[in-house]
Amino acid sequence: ETGVTQSPTHLIKTRGQQVTLRCSSQSGHNTVSWYQQALGQGPQFIFQYYREEENGRGNFPPRFSGLQFPNYSSELNVNALELDDSALYLCASSFGLPVRNTEAFFGQGTRLTVV
């Protein structure tokens, strides 16, 4: 148990729809990073939030957006879903920056299937 909770665990959506994924970070952690892991691939960085502000973004289009709340939980929103968005979405919580200086704890992920 890492103390990082993601919901829902599984989700099926239709192409063109919108989806919101949620992440509750470990207590005391103020940094949340989101990753997309396609089948058979390594996780790819989507973006990171630190103290409610976006702090870096990977090579993902603007239809991927996020939020971090005052309690440091976070949401990942994806608009206009495409088939290629089917993946495991992982969030990682850590304390402070940069994340390489601390241990990042990952949740079990949300498996998104777009049909």
Coil vs helix vs strand at 77: strand
**One of 21, 90, 112, 114 touching other proteins (CB under 8 A):** 90
Q: C-alpha angle with apex 89: 111 to 114, nearest 5 degrees?
A: 50
Binding to other proteins by CB under 8 A, coded x per residue (else -) over 4-33, reads x----------------------------x
Residue 44 in contact with other proteins, rule: CB under 8 A: yes
Cβ atoms of residues 47 and 54 within 8 Å = yes
Residue 107 in contact with other proteins, rule: CB under 8 A: yes
Please identify, among the stretches 14-22, 63-71, 78-86, 91-99, the one whose residues bind other proteins according to the rule CB under 8 A.
91-99
* β-pair type (105-106, 19-24): unpaired
DSSP state of 64: E
Please identify, among the stretches 13-21, 62-70, 73-81, 97-105, the one whose residues bind other proteins according to the rule CB under 8 A.
97-105
